[in-house]
């Protein structure tokens, strides 16, 4: 195997949207960075993920110069629908906060970032195997990886771990130096992507006696629907007809009658968990996104919280290299975690509000009903939801 040595300022481990966004922002700031991705570009772009973007993330994409297609094809939403007991109400974001969310698929965000990185010739290594982060607790960290017949060593100043829950970055931090917090929910989401128009112009979150349901979209002719299922369920046992029947049974009749059904393009089950790792920095290694935290998708916060990490880390690196100021680097973990825990709380709240849990007592169901009634009737409760859903400030 041939050896090769590279030099850069920042190695970004993980070529998903958070790693690519950080790389693009650093490039525009004149800070050299190399992105490593374990999978192929085609594999990364084949992953189906959420597509509700907070205003803060949209602004970051604007700053990174990758917002042209988003502005042209994205859908602005200034409210959402909450359904229960065969009725529904709308939470109008614009009434409480002068910011919308934008519906634009995560796959499309990733595609735009790949194209931007390619257009400037910034180095990205796909199919990077055997990645190892070395000496991160010293002033001379390095990253090694194998691509084809070559074993690379990258000498760098810093490493940004954007490689997800199963990546190498978090595991590089010694066990006695990190603490992990986790809550595993006793159900999953069965999701279907279909070439059908959305049932409604805004997202519908539904609590029903049969379990949770969500009606979402990718564009005017591509819809994404979810239903709560057993955590150990198998997507292959669900026919399209079974899925549509169950979804209709969980929606208010008005929406069930309007639902356009069709063959599924993709069908999968996602488990639900809350997870936070502390700290998010060890020496010159920094964790971003799913490498440090995971939230259930109920509040659409996964990618958006990764974006806030990227914002903090990008500003920290920029201050360090442009102004010789290390305060942002030193405070990164505490700053990021303060927002992460608020987002974790909101995602837990929405999940608890809208799902049916195994073993719920009559008391539990009455309290859940009271919470939904309170949200329906209270401007203050809707304002709190709107502020969190649209996105807390960075």
- Summarize pLDDT for 169-194 with one digit per residue, the tens: 999 999 999 999 999 999 999 999 99
Q: Helix 55-63 vs helix 17-28: angle between axes, to the nearest 10 degrees?
A: 40
Among candidate residues 77, 293, 318, 355, the one labeled active-site is: 77
Rounded to two decimals, what is the model's pTM?
0.94
* DSSP-derived secondary structure letter, 357: P
The model's confidence at residue 50, banded by pLDDT at 50, 70 and 90, is low
What pLDDT does 219 receive?
Answer: 83
**394 in active site:** no
* Residues 87-114 pLDDT 10s: 999 999 999 998 999 999 889 999 999 9
Among candidate residues 205, 226, 314, 320, the one labeled active-site is: 205
The model's confidence at residue 48, banded by pLDDT at 50, 70 and 90, is low
Give the residue-averaged pLDDT of 246-266.
96
Dihedral class, residue 302 (left if φ above 0, else alpha if ψ from -120 to 50, else beta): alpha
Among candidate residues 104, 114, 125, 389, the one labeled active-site is: 389
Whole-angstrom distance, CA of residue 80 vs CA of residue 314: 32
Whole-angstrom distance, CA of residue 374 vs CA of residue 157: 51
What pLDDT does 42 receive?
Answer: 84
Domain 185-271+359-390 maps to which CATH number in 1.25.40.10, 3.10.105.10, 3.40.50.720, 3.30.9.10?
3.30.9.10
Domain boundaries, the chain: 2-76+101-182+273-351, 185-271+359-390
What pLDDT does 45 receive?
Answer: 80
**77 in active site:** yes
**205 in active site:** yes
Q: Which residues contact 339 (CB under 8 A, 6 or more apart)?
A: 305, 308, 392, 394
Residue 261's SS3 state is coil
Residue 70's SS3 state is helix
Q: Which of 139, 128, 136 is nearest to 171 (CA)?
A: 136
Among candidate residues 200, 301, 318, 355, the one labeled active-site is: 301
The CATH number given to 2-76+101-182+273-351 is 3.50.50.60
């Amino acid at each position: 195997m041939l050896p090769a040595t590279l030099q850069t300022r920042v190695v970004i481990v993980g070529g998903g949207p958070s790693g690519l966004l950080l790389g693009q922002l650093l490039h525009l700031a004149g800070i050299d960075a190399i992105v490593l991705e374990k999978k192929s570009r085609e594999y990364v772009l084949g992953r189906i993920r959420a597509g509700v973007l907070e205003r803060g993330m949209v602004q970051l994409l604007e700053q990174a110069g990758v917002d042209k297609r988003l502005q042209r094809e994205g859908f602005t939403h200034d409210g959402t629908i909450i359904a229960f007991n065969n009725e529904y109400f709308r939470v109008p974001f614009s009434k409480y906060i002068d910011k919308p969310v934008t519906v634009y698929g995560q796959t499309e965000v990733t595609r735009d970032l790949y194209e931007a990185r390619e257009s400037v010739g910034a180095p990205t290594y796909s199919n990077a195997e055997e990645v190892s982060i070395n000496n991160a607790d010293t002033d001379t960290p390095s990253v090694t990886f194998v691509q084809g017949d070559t074993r690379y060593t990258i000498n760098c100043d810093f490493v940004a771990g954007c490689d997800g829950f199963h990546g190498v970055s978090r595991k590089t931090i010694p066990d006695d130096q990190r603490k992990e917090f986790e809550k595993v929910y006793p159900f999953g989401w069965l999701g279907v992507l279909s070439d059908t128009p959305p049932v409604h112009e805004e997202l519908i979150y539904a609590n029903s006696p049969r379990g949770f349901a969500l009606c979402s979209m990718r564009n005017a002719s591509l819809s994404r629907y979810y239903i709560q299922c057993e955590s150990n369920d198998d997507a292959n046992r669900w026919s399209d007809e079974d899925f549509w029947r169950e979804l209709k049974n969980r929606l208010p009749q008005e929406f069930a009658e309007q639902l356009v059904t069709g063959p599924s393009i993709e069908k999968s089950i996602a488990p639900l968990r809350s997870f936070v790792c502390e700290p998010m920095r060890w020496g010159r290694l920094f964790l971003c996104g799913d490498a440090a935290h995971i939230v259930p998708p109920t509040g659409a916060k996964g990618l958006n919280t990764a974006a806030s990490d990227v914002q903090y880390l990008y500003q920290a690196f920029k201050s360090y290299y442009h102004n010789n100021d290390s305060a942002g680097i030193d405070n990164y973990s505490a700053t990021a975690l303060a927002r992460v825990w608020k987002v974790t709380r909101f995602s837990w709240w929405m999940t608890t509000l809208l799902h049916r849990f195994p073993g719920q007592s009559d008391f539990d169901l009455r309290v859940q009903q009271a919470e939904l009634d309170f949200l329906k009737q209270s401007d203050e409760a809707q304002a709190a939801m709107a502020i969190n859903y649209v996105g807390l400030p960075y």
